[in-house]
Amino acid sequence: MSRVVKLAVIPGDGIGPEVVAEAEKVLDAVTASSDVTFDKTRFSLGAARYLETGDTLTDDDLKAISDHDAILLGAVGGTPGDPRLKDANIERGLLLKLRFMLDHYVNLRPSKLFAGAAGPLSDPGDIDFVVVREGTEGPYVGNGGAIRKGTPHEVANETSVNTAFGVERVVRYAFDLAERRSKKVTLVHKTNVLVHAGAIWQRIVNEVSAEHPDVAVDYLHVDAATIFLVTDPSRFDVIVTDNLFGDILTDLAGAVTGGIGLAASGNINPDGAFPSMFEPVHGSAPDIAGQQKADPTAAILSVALLLDHLGLTGEAARVSAAVESDIASRTGARSTAEVGSAITALL
Amino acid sequence: MSRVVKLAVIPGDGIGPEVVAEAEKVLDAVTASSDVTFDKTRFSLGAARYLETGDTLTDDDLKAISDHDAILLGAVGGTPGDPRLKDANIERGLLLKLRFMLDHYVNLRPSKLFAGAAGPLSDPGDIDFVVVREGTEGPYVGNGGAIRKGTPHEVANETSVNTAFGVERVVRYAFDLAERRSKKVTLVHKTNVLVHAGAIWQRIVNEVSAEHPDVAVDYLHVDAATIFLVTDPSRFDVIVTDNLFGDILTDLAGAVTGGIGLAASGNINPDGAFPSMFEPVHGSAPDIAGQQKADPTAAILSVALLLDHLGLTGEAARVSAAVESDIASRTGARSTAEVGSAITALL
Ligand SMILES: CC(C)[C@H](C(=O)O)[C@@H](O)C(=O)O
Ligand SMILES: CC(C)[C@H](C(=O)O)[C@@H](O)C(=O)O
């Protein structure tokens, strides 16, 4: 009766391998005595692989990764300004390609201020919300171009594409999530300026909201939302927003809840047609790579999201609880491995 | 030898008229003994005017306003959700129309943490930077549309348009400003995702930067910039960014420096072909309108920017100094008029 989960592991660049090692340590420990086995395949992808082979993500890579139940990713991206990476866009060619090709239409990013975590706000209140960021549309579609490039007459365009199909499925996810939480959904957009994209989001939120009379609905312009994130973050429960606004809001939310070293995320395909991918919100931070300075907590909390997604809710809760008690008792500086071991010991 | 400045005053909606009354009180007082006379024309524009006449901004309005040396605006916009305003977009049809038609390509938004101003950060440091937000391009151009509107097959697009002409002139302004300040320019964009729009901004910043070897140049993705705005805002001197990112960053910056009630802005046409327009960053806040609850400081600081723009630097400095000492000595709650009178008394 034992269950085997095929897990693709992409440690990536910079601090990616270090934080993933700790995430795997926790994953192994929490599943050691359960009847679930994780059958892991490592994929060497990222800037290092590109520099070696010229490949970012081949069709074969994608096919092999798709043949898994879930993906754990560390971080990808080389040193900013590295001239050898000038023509590579590791973010678009690898990270965003995975999100788009694997139809990760829900980018789930919880924000919680754990007791003991020191954020920049003097009076943060009780922060516990989730951003449901659309993952496959909006300004991220790569629908742009330039004419007269490099000349004084250049015109460069980027088009945000928003479909009723794409907006509705993520809005439904947000309302379903709110039903299991504090029953409040806040749409964040910029409907007064981006009138067409804004209108489709507002219309669909109104429509789906009618099916959830018990869920309160709110709307904020993205600029106002950033104000509330620093002045009254406890007002939020579930935020639903587009790809770009979600990117911005979740970095800010990470900072407000004690730093991007604690912020986890799931790139989810709720239909199960493709494997979902779990990764810390932070990047590869090449400046501190290999020094055991990175906080693996975001990667470890991403494992909790992964376990939860796989229906291993007991294991997920044990990881979250271990992280929570580790954060509550943090004192001096610890190495990446020390944090991972401390959390493992607390499981 | 006396100089006459033709000033268009647009009090607008909500708290607009209240804060503009105080701004005018300060303007009148600070110019009372100088040889400059402000010849004011009031324009009744905004949601109230729209509800009365159906007009937002007619060609005649625009022509009459253009025939002034500068504009002072309070705030425009009706009650959110007012069904009678459903088909009006006061923001696009009035505020953005003014910015675009009067070619306000520099949206200048200083952020300074005044002594005594209470922001949400526990350790804000010394905050003193200026956001130079592009005002006539980017995702704000209104270049969008939808097909199959209102159906499950709707597709809604918005196109961000960025021209070398438009980017270069605002980037030049930012570098010139940095030369007179702490000689640091930070470009904020999302070059790793919005590759075409990002590339034109990065290229032009690189080119203009070569002409300013003494100005340090930095780049931040917009998501990372929001993190630094709450963890290390004193690192910034001049931020140059596009219309949408500038909108988001300046609301957050306003919150971080003690609230949007203190944030002033100038919509500037540096060529002098059209009158520049000065306005608080905040909106019309219909919920507290007519109650003398709004802080007129942002409107008053907008008068300082207006005076500065007109070359009346001594008068501008007196207004800023009066605001600074008023903020330093704030205690209990005061009415809008009391704040205006207190600042006037301190001139
Ligand atoms: C690296 C980048 C492409 C990515 C994004 O913009 O989505 C990152 O910022 C994130 O939030 O996961
Ligand atoms: C009202 C709105 C159109 C405007 C903008 O987005 O520019 C406002 O938020 C601002 O920052 O002045």
SS3 for chain B is CCEEEEEEEEEECCCHHHHHHHHHHHHHHHHCCCCEEEEEEECCCCHHHHHHHCCCCCHHHHHHHHCCCEEEEEECCCCCCCHHHCCCCHHHHHHHHHHHHCCCCEEEEEEECCCCCCCCECCCCCCEEEEEEECCCEEEEEEEEEECCCCCCCEEEEEEEEEHHHHHHHHHHHHHHHHCCCCEEEEEECCCCCHHHHHHHHHHHHHHHHCCCCCEEEEEEHHHHHHHHHHCHHHCCEEEECHHHHHHHHHHHHHHCCCHHHCEEEEECCCCCCCEEEEECCCCCHHHCCCCCCCCHHHHHHHHHHHHHCCCHHHHHHHHHHHHHHHHCCCCCCCHHHHHHHHHHCC
Residue A324 host element (H or E): helix A313-328
Distance from CA of B78 to the nearest CA of A (A): 12
User: Among A156-170, A317-331, B53-67, B76-90, whose mean pLDDT is lowest?
Assistant: B76-90
Which structural domains are found in chain B, ordered by start? 1-107+262-347 (3.40.718.10), 120-141+162-256 (3.40.50)
Order the strands of the B276-280 sheet from edge to edge: B36-42, B3-12, B70-75, B276-280, B264-268, B106-112, B128-134, B238-241, B184-189, B216-221
Residue A186 host element (H or E): strand A184-189
Q: Residue B162's CB: how many other CB atoms inside 10 A?
A: 30
Ligand 2 atom nearest residue B243's Cα = 7
Please enumerate in sequence order all residues whose Cβ is within 8 A of that of B16, keeping only pairs 6 or more positions apart, or say none: B10, B46, B73, B74, B75, B76, B284
Is B163–A140 a contact, with Cβ atoms under 8 angstroms apart?
A: no
Across B314-319, average pLDDT: 98
Q: Is A126 annotated as a binding residue?
A: no
Residue carrying the six token digits 């059958």: A39
- A/B interface, count of CB pairs below 8 Å: 194
3-class DSSP state of A214:
coil
Task: Assign A33 a pLDDT band (cuts: 50, 70, 90).
Answer: confident
DSSP bridge partners of B239: B131, B186
- Asked whether the beta carbons of A277 and A98 are under 8 A apart, the reply is yes
- Asked whether the beta carbons of B143 and B244 are under 8 A apart, the reply is no
Does residue B242's CB lie within 6 angstroms of at least one atom of ligand 2? Answer: no
Q: Residue A145's CB: how many other CB atoms inside 10 A?
A: 13
Distances in Å between the Cα of A111 and the Cα atoms of A126, A258, B119, B166, B296 are: 11, 10, 22, 38, 35
CA distance A329 to A317: 19
Q: Is A70 annotated as a binding residue?
A: no
- Asked whether the beta carbons of A98 and A107 are under 8 A apart, the reply is no
- Asked whether the beta carbons of A135 and A107 are under 8 A apart, the reply is yes
3-class DSSP state of A336:
helix
Q: Which residues of A touch B251 (CB under 8 A)?
A: 223-224, 226-227
Q: What is the dihedral of CA A9, A14, A18, A19, to 10 degrees?
A: -70
Q: Which residues of A touch B151 (CB under 8 A)?
A: 164
What's the half-sphere exposure (Cβ side, CA atoms, 13 Å) at A191? 18
Task: Assign B57 a pLDDT band (cuts: 50, 70, 90).
Answer: very high
Q: Cα–Cα–Cα angle for A326, A329, A332, nearest 5°?
A: 105
3-class DSSP state of A167:
helix
Across B140-162, average pLDDT: 98
3-class DSSP state of A106:
strand
Please enumerate in sequence order all residues whose Cβ is within 8 A of that of B324, keeping only pairs 6 or more positions apart, or say none: B114, B115
Residue A254 host element (H or E): helix A243-256
Q: Which residue of A has its CA nearest to B162?
A: A156
Across A42-47, average pLDDT: 96
Given the residues A55, A128, A176, A251, the one annotated as active site: A251
Angle between helices A297-309 and A313-328 (to 10 degrees): 160
Tokens of A93: 């060619």
Indicate which residues of B carry an active-site annotation: 140, 190, 223, 247, 251
- Looking at chain B, the whole-number percentage of residues with pLDDT higher than 70 is 100
Residue B79 has a pLDDT of 87
Q: Which residue of A has its CA nearest to B80?
A: A219
Q: What is the dihedral of CA B247, B253, B258, B260, to 10 degrees?
A: 0
Buried b (16+ CB within 10 A) or exposed e, B317-333: ebbbebbbebbeebeee
Does residue A154's CB lie within 6 angstroms of at least one atom of ligand 2? Answer: no
Does residue A95's CB lie within 6 angstroms of at least one atom of ligand 1? Answer: yes
Residue A1 has a pLDDT of 58
Q: Which ligand lies nearest the alpha carbon of B246?
A: 2
Given the residues A140, A173, A308, A326, the one annotated as active site: A140
CA distance A174 to A131: 9
Task: Assign B264 a pLDDT band (cuts: 50, 70, 90).
Answer: very high
pLDDT over 80 at A5, yes or no: yes
Residue A204 host element (H or E): helix A195-210
Sign of CA dihedral B169, B174, B180, B184: negative
Q: Is B148 annotated as a binding residue?
A: no
- Looking at chain B, the whole-number percentage of residues with pLDDT higher than 90 is 94
What's the half-sphere exposure (Cβ side, CA atoms, 13 Å) at B328? 8
CA–centroid distance, B266 to ligand 2, in Å, is 12
Residue B1 has a pLDDT of 58
- Asked whether the beta carbons of B136 and B166 are under 8 A apart, the reply is yes
Is residue B181 packed enough to be buried (19+ CB in 10 Å), middle (13-18) or exposed (0-12)?
middle
CA distance A289 to A294: 8
- Concerning whether A219 is annotated as a catalytic residue, the answer is no
For the segment B14-56, what is each residue's pLDDT rounded down to a tens digit? 999 999 999 999 999 999 988 999 999 999 999 999 999 999 9
CA distance B47 to B56: 8
- Asked whether the beta carbons of B177 and B132 are under 8 A apart, the reply is yes
pLDDT over 90 at A16, yes or no: yes
For the segment B87-133, what is each residue's pLDDT rounded down to a tens digit? 888 999 999 999 999 999 999 999 999 999 989 999 999 999 999 99
Sequence letter at residue A183: K
CA–centroid distance, A177 to ligand 1, in Å, is 23
Residue carrying the six token digits 């199909």: A165
Residue A81 has a pLDDT of 81
Phi and psi torsions of B126, nearest 5°: -95, 100
For the segment A216-255, what is each residue's pLDDT rounded down to a tens digit? 999 999 999 999 999 999 999 999 999 999 999 999 999 9
- Tell whether A42 is within 8 A of chain B (Cβ): no
CA distance A305 to A265: 7
Long-range contacts made by residues B50-59, C-beta under 8 angstroms, separation at least 24? B50/B78, B50/B85, B50/B88, B50/B90, B51/B78, B51/B84, B51/B85, B56/B88, B56/B90, B56/B93, B56/B94, B56/B97, B57/B93, B57/B94, B57/B97, B57/B98
Phi and psi torsions of A285, nearest 5°: 40, 60
Nearest protein Cα to ligand 1, atom 3: A91
Q: Among B90, B95, B131, B242, say which to mutate for ligand 2: greatest number of ligand atoms within 8 Å of CB.
A: B95
Residue A268 host element (H or E): strand A264-268
Sequence letter at residue B248: I
Nearest by CB to B251, from A194, A200, A226: name it. Answer: A226
